[in-house]
Structure 1
């Protein structure tokens, strides 16, 4: 059976949408529809029901899905390993947004000097999404906040982000917490810390732009929990009060991780790489 047909089937099943699957695969919708029909013809039964908001798996489709996912994953893993069989010709790097700001460029610069033949592919998102991409073999390594303590993931390196609560030096800060992303490890920690101090009544603003976040903090619109590297990068250090918080049992360090069964050929190099 053609594994490319199974890859399209898995994408449609995952998104429950032909259009979203087409976007992920960089195909036209008509091409995806045609390939699904080809697979259905080969197997002899329909795989999807059409519903108002997209498609859902038929009973037969549900039976096929776990096998198709396993085949597609193994094929992609094999292709990647064969490409990198003698040298690291491709390295797919995932990173959380904060790490994209703090250490992605230094990482790229170091790698381009030490491994100039290695091609890089980048994927930036929240830590949960980056971990999912790693587990699905869509990326090879990832910079994430905290150790995931997952049985299939190994930590290659650890970096300290030098985190602080920041508030305006010139204005009274409002009872508001300013965060980068709603489902953020840093934001969740800061909320719990702030509530433990007795601050139960506060609002939250999500901005997804560090420079705007810092500008709002400077204006007294609220407080945030950020790496000093980010504060320094946008030149807000002299306008803010920086307070080091007790992290207690929280692991908010950055960990460079990979899958245990897919350690890159340059794994030893990554274990000793020094970054900000």
Structure 2
């Protein structure tokens, strides 16, 4: 069995179709079919359920996919380890929750310094992003922390205050609003949502209704319109509070502080592109959220 066989198998599993996988790999379909059959003979078991819509992994196929992802990820990391340390290149896939206020500055500085890196960003909730990092599907992610997991290494980015928000047209915010108004939250797995539910439970409050949304912009717009209340970092809504569109209400300290951390697999080889990203994150944090050293700032002024 060759590494190319594992890549073919992984692609077929991802696409759920031999023909679509062949097109994605630019292979002849019969070659893909032959390589899959070779793997099944080598392992002594079928790997897929065949049906009219394509193929679906069976239990043995899911087992092999787990090994294939680890092996291929290690091979990719090996190649990255030999990149030019000072001028990294190649793909770097990271994830982020939507409320990282310093993310645009970090990525702007990083991409400006290392234009050969093909950086891609996906957004999601903390729980899902952590799982994607653990499954080698993301190189790293900005999430709500801290994260307690033996296979995760994390780098602190910021610590922020969480505030309860509602429409600026309403009365001052009290716990009664949490009883009568819907909670506006991201889908399950969001760290802010979990913190809000924990706080309300400690106050003996059961929300009247929970409404899920996919983006921070939508949650903020719904809160400003008076639809409900939400819990977000104060820095993410400072502009709306200043404009009078929302009001912010502090919550108890044990629930009202949140850290943002950058996570990666502890066993992952540090590629030059990842090493430089970590350096950029540390510089941003240590310089108070600017991400620019004094000489760089002076040169641009």
Contact 2:128 2:189 in 1 (8 A): no
TM-score (structure 2 length as normaliser): 0.73
Range with bigger deviation, 114-123 or 239-248: 114-123
How many angstroms does 1:3 deviate by?
Answer: 1.8
CA distance 1:247–1:116, shift in 2 (3 Å):
same
5+ residue gaps in structure 1? none
SS of the equivalent of 2:99 reads helix
User: What does 1:235-274 align with in structure 2 at a 5 Å threshold?
Assistant: 237-248=243-254, 252-260=258-266, 261-263=268-270, 264-266=274-276, 267-274=278-285
5+ residue gaps in structure 2? 172-176, 291-301
Match of 1:94 in 2: 95
Question: Equivalents in 1 of 2:30, 2:197: separation in Å?
Answer: 46
Question: Equivalents in 2 of 1:34, 1:251: separation in Å?
Answer: 56
- 1:232 pairs with 2:243: no
Question: Equivalents in 2 of 1:169, 1:250: separation in Å?
Answer: 20
Deviation by residue 1:191-227 (Cα, 9 ceiling, x = unmatched): 2212322322410111223333223223322110012
Query: Which aligned segments of 4 or more residues in structure 1 are displaced greater than 6 angstroms?
Result: 28-33
TM-score (structure 1 length as normaliser): 0.79
Contact 1:157 1:272 in 2 (8 A): no
Contact 1:93 1:121 in 2 (8 A): yes
SS of the equivalent of 2:131 reads helix
Match of 1:6 in 2: 6
How many angstroms does 1:77 deviate by?
Answer: 1.9
Match of 1:49 in 2: 49
Match of 1:35 in 2: 32
Range with bigger deviation, 27-36 or 80-89: 27-36
Match of 1:193 in 2: 199
Match of 1:144 in 2: 143
CA distance 1:240–1:82, shift in 2 (3 Å):
same
Match of 1:70 in 2: 70
Contact 1:147 1:255 in 2 (8 A): yes
User: What does 1:72-221 align with in structure 2 at a 5 Å threshold?
Assistant: 72-83=72-83, 87-90=87-90, 91-99=92-100, 102-171=101-170, 173=177, 174-221=180-227
CA distance 1:198–1:63, shift in 2 (3 Å):
closer
